[in-house]
Amino acid sequence: MSAVLRRAGATRPAAGFALVLLTIVLLVAPSSAAAPQAPVELGTAADYAVLAGSTITSTGATVVTGDVGLSPGTSVTGFPPGTVSGTVHTADAAAETAKADLTAAYVDAAGRAPATTVPTQLGGTTVNPGLYASAAGTFQITGELTLDAQGDPDAVFIFQTASTLTTASASTVTLTGGAQADNVFWQVGRSAARPRSEPARTSPGTSSR
């Protein structure tokens, strides 16, 4: 089984499953009644900008800020022309440990319950802290998505989708009310993607993992 870890500003290859950290806004009623969630512990996987199990392929001049890890696969291509500011770990002990930590984090996030069901399209919406699942098994972000921590910097947002997360080329994600990017998690069953023509844009204080 393979995994992908996404962090803000870097394209992550999707292979098997993905755990993604981002920000969000919803057109549903305020979620203040949602049970508070504990953070998903990423372990050593938190140190990686890209972490996968089968292959890592860069197209174009991709810029990756941080480490890159692959285990048990050995095929990392596209660097150059892509660049990596950190270390590339290919089928070594560090990558193996990070992959195991990511798998544990994914299982944790996927097993959280009960989740509030929300619409697939998250653009143009605002959501409060809590645990959320996609009504159709997919999530899309077109336009602006806002996460409101309501003044609690420790507030946690977890989003579960059985299939995919897709962001439009002009989409933005905004953190408000003290929300912290490190406390926002996306558990994606199959793949996370954005158009290659334009990098995803984020507001100050926003990131994805």
Angle at the Cα of 43 (from 38 to 44), degrees rounded to 5? 155
Total number of domains constituting the chain:
1
Locate 171 and state its tokens. 């989409």
Q: Which domain holds residue 39?
A: 3-47+109-193
Q: Is residue 154 part of a domain?
A: yes
Residue 76: inside a domain: no
What pLDDT, on the 0 to 100 scale, is given for residue 135?
87
pLDDT of residue 165 exceeding 60: yes
Per-residue confidence (pLDDT) for residue 26, from 0 to 100: 31
pLDDT at 34: 62
Residue 137, Cβ neighbours under 10 Å: how many?
14
Residue 94: inside a domain, yes or no? no
Q: Which residues contact 108 (CB under 8 A, 6 or more apart)?
A: 40, 41
Residue 146, in any domain of the structure = yes
- According to DSSP, the residues that pair with 172 across neighbouring strands are 144
How far is C-alpha 18 from the chain's CA centre?
Answer: 7
Region of 16 (left: φ > 0; alpha: ψ -120 to 50; beta: rest) is left
Considering the domain boundaries, does residue 137 fall inside one? yes
Tokens for 121, please give them. Answer: 């399209």
Asked whether residue 157 is domain-assigned, the answer is: yes
Taking only the tens place, the pLDDT of each residue in 60-79 is 788 898 999 999 999 999 98
Task: Give residue 62's pLDDT.
Answer: 84
Query: Distance (Å, rounded) from C-alpha 64 to C-alpha 76?
Result: 13
pLDDT value at residue 2: 35
88-144 pLDDT tens trace: 999 999 999 999 999 999 999 999 999 999 999 999 999 999 999 998 999 999 999
What is this structure's pTM?
0.74
Q: Does a structural domain hold residue 59? A: no
For residue 11, being part of any structural domain is answered with: yes
